[in-house]
Each structure stands twice: as structure tokens, then as C-alpha cells.
Amino acid sequence: MEPNYDTCGMTNWVGSFDPIKFIYFMLATVIIPYPVYIFVATVFNWEHKAKRPARHYQDILNATSYGVILFIFGNYARTFNVLDNMAKLLSELDFAKTSLPRFKSWPFAMYALFLGATALVLVFAGYHIYLGIVLNRTVPGFIGYYLLALLIPVLLTLIGYACLKQQNNDLFGLSKVYNFMLYLRWKWTTRVARRSAAKQRRLDAAKQHIPTIDPPNQSVDAQQGRVATPVSEQQSSYHVSRSGSHDNLVVTTTNNTSVSFTITEGPPPTSALENIDSEIVIPPFQPYVWSVAIPGYFHPHHWQLFYTLAFFTRFDHWVSRVGAGIVIGAYMQGIMAYGFDYLIEE
């Protein structure tokens, strides 16, 4: 029994979802074809990129994610059919296992297939516009949304081209924005370093005023600039009380004999923390200078083209279903053979 999409807020021009058909869709487009294609392409030496298990896993994961988007917004819950899978075989012909950028070395059969596919795409595009006009009678406004959706891949391509020109030519002057960001980062790190140094200096100063019950050691005090001169000596147990680091020491013995120490304060000790400002190495800000260290280049792949077309073969008509099978098959062939290569590469 077909689900009632209208009660779920779905329409013919937005999308649709059916969990059972989604499972069939993923099995028919990703889960089963991927390992089968890798096995056959390796045995028969079809052109493909050798991948390690990590890359296979990543490509399958990406294909699943892309498939979710395509299934929902391509309306395949309504239109997915066995014709989709049968038409995929056209993209699995042996002479079709070639890369788009290598068109100069294509065999004649591949040229014929490409020209035929281009003509077929144009015919399919015209017929799908006709189907959109027909559907517009029952879904007012559909043809407008359908044609406006064609601007999405054009817009994405223009954005990619703009990024390419920015990377290679600094077309929009974004290097100045990046330079300002680096300057703010330099100011922040400098401020944090100075605050940390000031905090450490306060902690060190507080440690110098902590009272102690031990009598001053003459050798240690001498190294620190202080000289302790005993007035009298008494060999007995004693307790030392100190009221401050710069006060006299009073030693009380068991037989009430007092021994007085006079502390002569020398010059203040010189420590690395007191010169913390001079020891913090803060390099001056180095402005960013734009350069084409790694140039980019525009490299379209056929999986990107056919994945985009798969959103427009969305009608419950056998022509649209055959077209869906062709474009999805060509899209997945590119993914299985080469992976999700980028439109703008470095």
C-alpha cells in the first residue's frame, strides 16, 4: 500500500520518502553494485583508481549520504522502478570505462556514446519540461520551481569558479581580511602571554613574604644578599618566632637565655621572574603576503554532472524512469571507479 504523501506534507515538486523503497534504492545503487563493480573492474582491468579499504569505506559512506538527499528530493519514493536498474547497464559498457578529462584518448565507441548521450539528455530535458508543464495543471507553480531549480547547479559552479579565482588571483582581496584575522590573533596571544607573566610575578612576590620557623642560614642568606650576625650563641633547643621577613629574630631557649639575630637586608634579589618583561619573547607581527603557493584548477567530473541531472528525472513516467536509470548509473560508475573527486582541485 502506497503511503499518503500529501498527509505527510510531501508534494510532487518538493520530495517524498518511503522507507521500504529507500532500502531497495540503496541496495540497488550503492550496497550491491559497489563491491560487484570493484571485483569486475579489477578482474577485467577496466580503468579505475586503485583504492585502499579506508578510501572504499569513505566513498561508500559518502555515496550513502548523497543517496539520502537524492532519494528524498529526487522524488524516488514515487518513481523508483526496475527500469532504473536496467538502464544503468548502459553506463557499464566496456568502452564507457573512461575518464571525462581524457577525452582526447577516447575510443570511437566512447565518442559515439558521449554524443548520443548528449543528444539523449537534450531530448530528455525537453520532454521532462513537457512533463513538468503537464504536472503544473494539477500542481500549480510546479514548472516554475522546476526551472528555477536548474539555477542551483549553475550557482554552485559559479561559486566554485569564484573561489578558484580568489585562490589564484586574489580577485576579491580576501587576503587583506585574512591578514587582519592574523593580526587579531597576534594581539590576543600577546595579551595572554603578558597576563600569564604578570600572574607568575605576583605569585613569586608572595612566596618571598611567607613566614618560616627555621633560623636563617648564614650561607644561604649570604647568597641572597642578607647577612645574619648572631649576638650570642647557646647550644640548646629553641623556638624561633618571626613577625616579618625584615624584622629581628628572637630565639628563646629552654633556660630563658635569649639569642638575638640581627638581619641585615642587602640589595633585593635579582630573579628571572622580576625581569619577566625582558625575557618574554614576543615576535613582531608578520603581515601576510598573498602568493599562489598552491594553485587550483577547474576539474569537472562526470559524477557531478549526472548526480545533478538525477534530481530532474523525477516523474512517474517510463521515459523519466529510463533517464533516471542512466544518470544514476553514470553517477555511481564515477564514484565506484574514481571516488568523490572535487570540482576545484589543488
Could you give the CA distance from residue 185 to residue 179 in angstroms, rounded to a whole number? 10
Composition of the chain by helix, strand, coil, percent to 5: 55, 5, 35
Strand partners, 258: 252
- From 334, 332, 336, select the one nearest 70 (Cα to Cα): 332
10 Å Cβ neighbour count for 323?
27
10 Å Cβ neighbour count for 149?
15
Query: What are the boundaries of each domain within the chain?
Result: 15-172+296-345, 174-208+273-289, 211-268
CB 229 within 8 A of CB 261: yes
Residue holding cell 514548472? 143
Residue 258, helix vs strand vs coil = strand
pLDDT tens-digit profile, the chain (346 residues): 455 555 444 555 677 888 999 999 999 999 998 999 899 889 988 878 889 999 999 999 999 999 999 999 988 888 887 655 655 555 555 555 555 556 666 677 777 877 877 787 788 888 888 988 888 888 888 888 888 888 999 999 999 999 999 989 988 989 899 999 999 999 999 999 888 888 888 888 888 766 655 555 555 455 555 544 444 444 444 444 444 444 444 444 444 444 444 444 444 444 444 444 446 777 888 888 888 778 888 888 889 988 999 998 888 888 888 888 888 888 998 899 899 999 888 8
H or E stretch at 127: helix 108-135
- Return phi, psi of residue 113, to 5°: -65, -40
For residue 308, what are the contacts with CB-CB under 8 A and spacing of at least 6? 153
> 213-216 contacts: CB < 8 A, separation 24 or more?
213/239, 213/240, 213/241, 213/242, 214/240, 215/240, 215/249, 215/251, 215/261, 216/249, 216/261, 216/263
- From 205, 155, 165, select the one nearest 290 (Cα to Cα): 165
How far lies 220's CA from each of 223, 226, 289, in Å? Answer: 5, 8, 55
What is the structure's pLDDT at 27?
Answer: 93
Summarize pLDDT for 40-53 with one digit per residue, the tens: 889 988 878 889 99
Retrieve residue 153's grid coordinates: 547547479
The string of DSSP codes covering 168-229 is HH-TT-HHHHHHHHHHHHHHHHHHHHHHHHHHHHHHHHHHTT---SSPPPHHHHHHTT-EEE
Could you give the CA distance from residue 183 to residue 210 in angstroms, rounded to a whole number? 42
